[in-house]
């Protein structure tokens, strides 16, 4: 394969000697009485960075959402509002606790949960909403918080894609009764697999600590568990990787914003696209650079993706509306969702994530954009 056709990954980490050194140290030393040292360092640094009182390192963000819902006392008969456009990990934990997800529409510019749509979706059974900072962007948190306050529902912030982002003077991860991060290998900050829950609510924190350790509170009698819980812990090696990555967070976020800038500059004179938006007062960390093709071009993501993949360009479809995927076929909240959530349905079919890994260079961005423009025009005239 010639060099120019080398595969361009859609996402991937930035690992330096620092990460290798910390993980090596953990593998060599983090045992016996030191088994939790790196987790505690990672938790303390994450809590401080996000101005939260408590943090718990977990094996995934999905586990964090599960624990948050459980600790909020959400269960059968309750409804939890979730934006239509997100990864299924945002909504799946609602089923783990026996509650019902209700899909609500997104804002046309931020692609995140819309406050008016949230309010319309609230019923007497609504207990909470999971708000997602999609692709590193931030919704209008002020408006969402005032709706939640008015209707007395809890918010959970799914900031899996948005570490380092800001809404006004508050960082992603500082919102809601609890917030959760993902450190999956594709994310801005990675531990391979991993997650963290942050909160200011001590009772919620203590409940999470107990339920993530098979229903045994820290320090309680061994093998004498109070409840049937879950097993959600992070290893020291993962935490060591996280500590190193967190020390580099500003550099990582700057890099993500630089990559986005290369795309924005390269595509600025091209018609037919828009990219991720950044409202005033928001800092978007552009986890995934995402192109939305103008509806008038009538070019779908599903037509475009195989043509780019064939050229070694790693792209992904914009999330499908959750109400449209097989997992939620026949689900009560999927009925009539296309009419109820028109913005999500309008955006999803014509959006694609472009290569956003730390390995991107201006030359690779140029190769991606040249191919993208050519294929869009080919499909447009073919139609």
Ligand X SMILES: *Cc1c(COP(=O)(O)O)cnc(C)c1O
Task: Establish if 114 lies at the interface with ligand X (CB under 6 A).
Answer: no
Instruction: Give 139 or 195: the residue with its C-beta nearer to ligand X.
Output: 195
Least distance in angstroms from the C-beta of 2 to ligand X: 34
CB of 188 or CB of 311, closer to ligand X = 188
156 phi, psi to nearest 5 deg: -120, 125
Q: Give the residue carrying structure tokens 């390995």.
A: 359
| 10 Rama sector, left if φ>0, alpha if ψ -120 to 50, beta otherwise | alpha
Q: Is 69 in the site for ligand X (CB under 6 A)?
A: no
- The residue (of 138 and 376) whose beta carbon lies closer to ligand X is 138
Among 78, 114, 157, 158, binds ligand X (CB under 6 A): 158
For ligand X, the closer CB: 60 or 284: 60
Binding test (CB under 6 A) with ligand X, winner from 39, 86, 110, 334 = 86
Q: Is 61 one of the binding residues for ligand X (CB under 6 A)? A: yes
The Cα–Cα gap between 116 and 147 comes to 8
Decide if residue 90 touches ligand X (CB under 6 A). Answer: yes
By the rule CB under 6 A, 184 interacts with ligand X? yes
Q: Which stretch binds ligand X (CB under 6 A): 55-63, 70-78, 136-144, 326-334?
A: 55-63
**Counting beta carbons within 10 angstroms of the beta carbon of residue 40, is it exposed (0 to 12), middle (13 to 18) or buried (19 or more)?**
middle
Beta bridge partners, 55, equal 198
# binding residues, ligand X (CB under 6 A): 14
Please identify which residue in 136, 173, 195, 229 interacts with ligand X, judged by CB under 6 A.
195
Structure tokens at 65: 């959402």
How far apart (Å, rounded) are the C-alpha atoms in residues 40 and 34? 10
Work out how close the CB of 192 gets to ligand X at its nearest, in angstroms, rounded to a whole number: 10
Largest separation between any pair of C-alpha atoms in the chain: 71
Of the residues 87, 103, 141, 263, which one makes contact with ligand X according to CB under 6 A: 87
Q: Dump strand ranges (E) for the chain.
A: 54-58, 79-83, 100-104, 126-132, 154-158, 166-167, 170-171, 178-182, 195-199, 273-275, 282-283, 290-293, 316-317, 351-353
Among 47, 132, 304, 343, binds ligand X (CB under 6 A): 132
The residue range among 98-106, 154-162, 294-302, 374-382 that interacts with ligand X, by the rule CB under 6 A, is 154-162
Radius of gyration for the chain, computed over Cα atoms and rounded to the nearest angstrom: 21
Binding residues for ligand X (CB under 6 A): 60-62, 86-87, 89-90, 132, 158, 160-161, 182, 184, 195
């Amino acid at each position: 394969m010639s060099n120019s056709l080398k595969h361009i990954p859609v996402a991937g980490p930035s690992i330096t000697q620092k990460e290798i050194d910390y993980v090596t140290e953990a593998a060599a030393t983090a045992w016996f009485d030191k088994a939790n040292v790196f987790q505690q360092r990672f938790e303390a640094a994450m809590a401080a960075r996000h101005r939260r009182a408590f943090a718990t390192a977990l094996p995934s963000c999905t586990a964090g959402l599960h624990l948050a819902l459980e600790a909020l006392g959400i269960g059968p008969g309750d409804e939890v509002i979730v934006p239509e456009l997100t990864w299924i990990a945002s909504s799946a934990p609602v089923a783990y606790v026996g509650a019902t997800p209700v899909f609500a529409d997104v804002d046309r510019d931020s692609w995140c949960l819309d406050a008016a749509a949230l309010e319309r979706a609230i019923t007497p059974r609504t207990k909470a909403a999971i708000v997602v900072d999609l692709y590193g962007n931030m919704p209008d948190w002020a408006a969402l918080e005032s709706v939640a306050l008015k209707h007395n529902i809890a918010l959970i912030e799914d900031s899996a894609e948005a570490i380092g982002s800001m809404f006004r003077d508050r960082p992603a991860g500082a919102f809601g009764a609890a917030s959760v991060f993902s450190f999956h290998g594709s994310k801005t900050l990675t531990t391979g697999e991993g997650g963290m829950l942050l909160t200011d609510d001590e009772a919620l924190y203590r409940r999470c600590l107990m339920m993530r350790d098979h229903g045994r509170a820290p320090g309680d009698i061994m093998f004498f568990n109070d409840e049937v819980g879950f097993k959600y812990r992070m290893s020291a090696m993962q935490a060591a990787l996280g500590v190193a990555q967190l020390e580099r967070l500003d550099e990582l976020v700057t890099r993500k914003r630089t990559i986005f800038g290369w795309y924005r500059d390269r595509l600025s004179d091209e018609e037919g696209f828009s990219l991720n938006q950044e409202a005033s007062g928001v800092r978007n960390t552009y986890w995934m650079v995402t192109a939305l093709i103008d509806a008038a071009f009538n070019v779908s993501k599903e037509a475009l993706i195989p043509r780019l993949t064939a050229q070694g360009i790693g792209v992904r479809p914009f999330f499908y509306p959750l109400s449209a995927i097989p997992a939620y076929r026949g689900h009560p909240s999927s009925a009539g969702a296309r009419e109820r959530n028109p913005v999500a349905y309008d955006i999803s079919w014509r959006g694609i994530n472009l290569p956003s890994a730390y390995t991107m260079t201006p030359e690779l961005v140029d190769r991606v954009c040249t191919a993208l423009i050519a294929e869009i025009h080919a499909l447009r005239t073919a139609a």
